[in-house]
Amino acid sequence: MCFEIIEPGDEVIAVDDLYGGTYRMFTRLLKISAEVHFYHFDDVSKLQM
């Protein structure tokens, strides 16, 4: 589903401890020129909107 709604130039924010298959899916988004940011969500103050 992610590949259906995410387009080149989009940014995605995800937790940094994803299940391996999910992590690989998000890293493949880099191949379509989407930017993926992985964060440790126990400190949300690091997120900038």
Average pLDDT over residues 19-41: 81
User: Tell me, what's the pLDDT at 26?
Assistant: 81
Q: What does the block give as tokens for 25?
A: 């899916």
Q: Report the range of poorest mean pLDDT among 4-8, 17-21, 35-39, 42-46.
A: 42-46
The total domain count for the chain is 1
Q: Supply the range of the domain harboring residue 40.
A: 2-46
Provide the 10 A C-beta neighbour count for residue 29: 19
Between CA 44 and CA 46 the distance in angstroms is 5
Residue whose C-alpha is closest to residue 36's, from 45, 44, 18: 18
Mean per-residue pLDDT for 26-46?
A: 78
**Which of the four pLDDT bands, split at 50, 70 and 90, describes residue 48?**
low
CA distance 29 to 2: 9
| % of the chain beyond a pLDDT of 70 | 84
